[in-house]
Amino acid sequence: MTERGGERSTGRPRRVLVTGGAGFIGSHLVASLLERGDDVTIVDDLSTGDARNIPDGALFIRDTVSGAVGRSEIGRETFDQVYHLAASVGVDLVMRDPVRAIETNIEQTAALLRFLAETGSGPVLIASSSEVYGKPTRRVFSEDDDVVYGPTTITRWSYACTKAIDEYLALGHHHAGTIACVVVRLFNTVGPGQVGRYGMVLPRFVEAALRGEPLRVFGDGTQTRCFCDVRDVVRALPRLLETPACLGRVFNLGSDRPISILELAEMVRRVLGSSSEVVLVPYSEAYPEGYEDLRHRRPDLARVREAIRFEPLIGLEQTIRDIADAIGRGGRVTAAERAEM
């Protein structure tokens, strides 16, 4: 056990639980919570997280969420706030091991929500995904849009379904009065400390550019995405959880500035001064078992702007430079990089 965070002005530190706190987004969030003086407990089984990401000052329990809530260290705790970020992440992982992804996303969320209801903890922020939208006909995704998924024979839609079930579970508890919650659908969060081994496109490009290897763009590269720096995302999460009017609601969170994947690859080459070539790779080669992609993915941010006046502050070129700097240090993220706004 390591030294805990400081106290609030009320005399007692806020007790916060972060599941998935050794992961990319989770570790950035933990650092910001510790900085404001919270008493933070992390639960992470390190299946995709890394213990080296964990900032000093947090209590770390290496376990699954379902395992941890039955252990004495956490089983008697009542938490003032909970951030549920633990999940199977990355298209590579979902495509390679769909059973694990499905069971992890649904079973761990259900176990956490039961624990919070039994202990009277909360509120809880559920980190969901833009994948929940499935394959809509609109180019801009709004929180109240209907969702349409592909057939069950296409593996990639299994992840979307699991995250949708997580949302149903959390909102069901909220409406039943057992747990207060807010659901946040994240859109392509990127930044220092992120790695490309689970299919995340931007760190994969940066890693290749730094090694002088080809930047592999799947499909024709004209598909567009919106990328938001993790430090902008982490700045917004506590504000959403702590704003009473946000509870019981769903929010998109990210950037609404689209860029094609081909343009992204060229930006990485230019920003890093890389001589790497850009090559197009058919989806059939990237994912032999079949893959169905979305042409465009852009969030409607009207709701989150109205609720907390959210606006991304860190530009994509700065994010690319910071990812490259962190990779050069073996993936370690400095305090200055975590705090930069």
Task: Supply the mean pLDDT for the chain.
Answer: 89
Burial of 287 (0-12, 13-18, 19+ CB in 10 A): buried
- Block residue for tokens 């989806």: 283
pLDDT of residue 139: 85
For the domain that residue 223 is a member of, what is the CATH number? 3.40.50.720
On whether residue 9 sits in a domain, the answer given is no
Structure tokens at 175: 């409406």
pLDDT of residue 7: 42
SS3 at position 45 = coil
On whether residue 5 sits in a domain, the answer given is no
What mean pLDDT do residues 70-91 have? 83
On whether residue 183 sits in a domain, the answer given is yes
Tell me: the pLDDT tens digits for 81-103?
999 999 877 666 677 788 888 88
pLDDT of residue 11: 66
For residue 211, count other CB atoms closer than 10 A to its CB.
11
Work out the end-to-end distance of the chain between its first and last CA atoms, rounded to an integer number of angstroms: 31
Domain count, the chain: 1
On whether residue 274 sits in a domain, the answer given is yes
pLDDT of residue 4: 35
- Block residue for tokens 């705790």: 77
**H or E element at residue 232:** helix 230-242
On whether residue 73 sits in a domain, the answer given is yes
Look up residue 42 and give its amino acid: I
Tell me: the pLDDT tens digits for 156-203?
888 899 999 999 999 999 999 999 999 999 999 999 999 877 668 999
On whether residue 8 sits in a domain, the answer given is no
For residue 275, count other CB atoms closer than 10 A to its CB.
8
On whether residue 191 sits in a domain, the answer given is yes
Under a CB-based contact definition with an 8 Å cutoff, are residues 22 and 39 in contact? no
Residue 53 lies in domain: 15-339
Catalytic residue among 83, 133, 159, 287: 159
Tell me: the pLDDT tens digits for 276-309?
999 999 877 766 565 677 888 999 999 999 999 9
Q: Which residue, among 286, 281, 270, 269, has the nearest Cα to 213 in the 3D structure? A: 269
Tell me: the pLDDT tens digits for 203-218?
999 999 999 999 999 9
159 has catalytic annotation: yes
Tell me: the pLDDT tens digits for 47-64?
888 999 999 999 999 999
On whether residue 233 sits in a domain, the answer given is yes
